[in-house]
Structure 1
Amino acid sequence: MLLTPRLAAFDMDGTLLNEQSQMTEATKEACLLLKEHGCKLVLSTGRTYGSAQLPIDSFPFDGYVCSNGATVYEADGTMVRSTFLPKDMVIDAVHALRKEAIYYELHDTASSRLMVKEDRDRLEALVEEDASVEGLLMRRFAFYKLARVVPLAELLEMVESGESEIVKFFIWHKNPERLDWVREQLEPFADRSSITTSGKHNVEVIPHGISKWEGLRYFCEKWEVTPDQVMAFGDAENDREALTEVGYSVAMDNATSAIKEIARYVAPHHNEDGVARFIRNNVLGIK
């Protein structure tokens, strides 16, 4: 029996996109057919809104849940919801993370990816190592093409003044064990933030109580869609809440075993047009 979602939500990296961070033509075609079928399409990503636009080539999504739910945007890019981390917590976390050579970015409501100028040399050393490490090529692209590098004092003033409202810390290291130290540094802020991850090499810090599902609820209310009518695709821990709440939960074949366990369905690998194949076979009935 074919599935009948009214809203489909797509994680990007490791799900909708292939390993070259591309939304393939097959995926675009399947998503357009799903849209013509009367289903609303929403990106549900850990990326900022600006970063989410880069690989989709103006594909007409109906909405965007970004920064793991900390920001929500209409189809035209109008931000309709934002939740940011407390200023004092952000400042204290920056000081804590600077104690070691750890790659980190601060993402704000303007889609800026902020980095501390004084840390640039040692961060550059981290991203110039073995390119085979998961996520390293993407880190290089962010470091050289997307980052806004500012002096420490200026960044802290931007946060303190409210010029930059920080919605997320993105923290990465080639050695996953180093992230245990990161989690220790963030422990004092556990009552005001949540920690999640989109892969074994990163930690993502977002406002307390925020998740992709919280962002998706905005669109459920807007379009009068019930959770059991939602289909969500994902592959990592930051997809957990959405996959737990929706009626049609789909983990990718490349997802972690923990995520596969909570999903009702498993789609083929993200490098094999998994989203497109699942939509065609299980929703549209096209083999």
Structure 2
Amino acid sequence: MAVKLIACDMDGTLLDNKGSYDRSRFEKMLNSLKEKDIKFLVATGNNIGRLSLMFDGLFDDLSFVAENGSHLLENGKTFSRKGISDDLVCDFLDFYHDKLVDYRVMISTAESSYVLEGATFDFSRAAIEKEQLDKFLSRIKLLKSFSELPNEPFLKINMAIPVKHENEIISSFNRNFKGPLTAVTSGYGAVDVTPKGIHKAWGIEQFMKKWHIKPEEVMAFGDAPNDIEMLKLAKYSYAMANAPQDVKDSGHFIAPSNDDNGVFRVIETQILER
């Protein structure tokens, strides 16, 4: 198995169902991969605020495809950032003008995330550590109207929609929105809206070009619909046992579940112990 790059999702994949991971085992794995000259790439829908807490002390030694490909960092430093134009944000807000509170629409800049008054979030079952959740909540600013948005570059659009209507809402948006945006879920009603063509696989490909790595030299792990493109990209792609069937169908192999440390087990047995 001639692997030179491992791309790994976080929530539901490397992270367990409490939103944490075995830090000591992870550091040992990273060091062993480095000795074999194998790069480890974090590929996630999370933003850098949460990732900097998640990988405190390791952040500058890691590379990231963050925000589903919209933000790329090598050794903790940005080398690509895809924003969303003011016009596209306005078109999106017009499209959902009567659903902005119900769908908990959130518009983010570099410093803050903006939602309308009346939008409520339930984090009681969220798989996220308290410090990371507190950091996320500290960024949120309430507005009476999105006409009050600041004159700053817009970097991200998110929605938190009812899970039972998730597929219907996403399909309807992708079919009917007249603009270069696409919606994708990372599960449990969490939806990212990004420029068309920008996803985890696109971000990974930018690193592959930079590092001169071919698809047949890539291993990838994921569990959610926003991982499908990268699972299709990599030769050694592992859908997690806890993934839905459409994600499993996109990978070439099945890894043990996130709660069974599937990522560690595959890398250790297939890469490090050989």
TM-score range, shorter chain: 0.7 to 0.9
For residue 46 of structure 1, what is the aligned residue in structure 2? 45
2:265 is aligned, of 259, 268, 277, to: 277
Q: Within 5 Å, which residues of 2 pair with 1:161-200?
A: 163-166=152-155, 168-177=156-165, 180-181=168-169, 184=172, 187-200=175-188
For residue 250 of structure 2, what is the aligned residue in structure 1? 262
In structure 2, stretches of 5+ residues that fail to align are none
Root mean square deviation, CA, Å: 2.7
Aligned length: 268
For residue 68 of structure 2, what is the aligned residue in structure 1? 68
Cα displacement (A) at 1:24: 1.4
Moved more, 21-30 or 5-14: 21-30
For residue 137 of structure 2, what is the aligned residue in structure 1? 144
For residue 15 of structure 1, what is the aligned residue in structure 2? 13
- Residue 37 in structure 1 maps to residue 36 in structure 2: yes
- Given residue 144 of structure 1, which amino acid in structure 2 is its aligned partner? L
8 Å contact from structure 1 (residues 21, 55) kept in 2: no
For residue 56 of structure 1, what is the aligned residue in structure 2? 55
For residue 123 of structure 1, what is the aligned residue in structure 2? 119
Cα displacement (A) at 1:36: 2.4
Decide whether aligned partners of structure 1 residues 266 and 183 sit closer, same or farther in structure 2, where only a CA change above 3 A counts.
closer
SS in 2 for 1:254: coil
Decide whether aligned partners of structure 1 residues 190 and 255 sit closer, same or farther in structure 2, where only a CA change above 3 A counts.
farther
8 Å contact from structure 1 (residues 268, 274) kept in 2: yes
2:196 is aligned, of 198, 204, 208, to: 208
8 Å contact from structure 1 (residues 93, 185) kept in 2: no
8 Å contact from structure 1 (residues 211, 238) kept in 2: yes
Cα displacement (A) at 1:179: 6.4
- Give the distance between the partners of 2:166 and 2:234, measured in 1 at CA: 34
For residue 105 of structure 2, what is the aligned residue in structure 1? 104
In structure 1, stretches of 5+ residues that fail to align are none
Decide whether aligned partners of structure 1 residues 56 and 19 sit closer, same or farther in structure 2, where only a CA change above 3 A counts.
farther
For residue 4 of structure 2, what is the aligned residue in structure 1? 6
Decide whether aligned partners of structure 1 residues 178 and 208 sit closer, same or farther in structure 2, where only a CA change above 3 A counts.
closer
- Give the distance between the partners of 1:193 and 1:264, measured in 2 at CA: 29
For residue 88 of structure 1, what is the aligned residue in structure 2? 87
Q: Deviations over 1:21-65 (max 9, x none)?
A: 213133332233222221111111111122222212232543111
8 Å contact from structure 2 (residues 107, 114) kept in 1: yes
Identity of aligned residues (%): 27
Cα displacement (A) at 1:182: 6.2
- Give the distance between the partners of 1:229 and 1:285, measured in 2 at CA: 18
- Give the distance between the partners of 1:188 and 1:11, measured in 2 at CA: 29
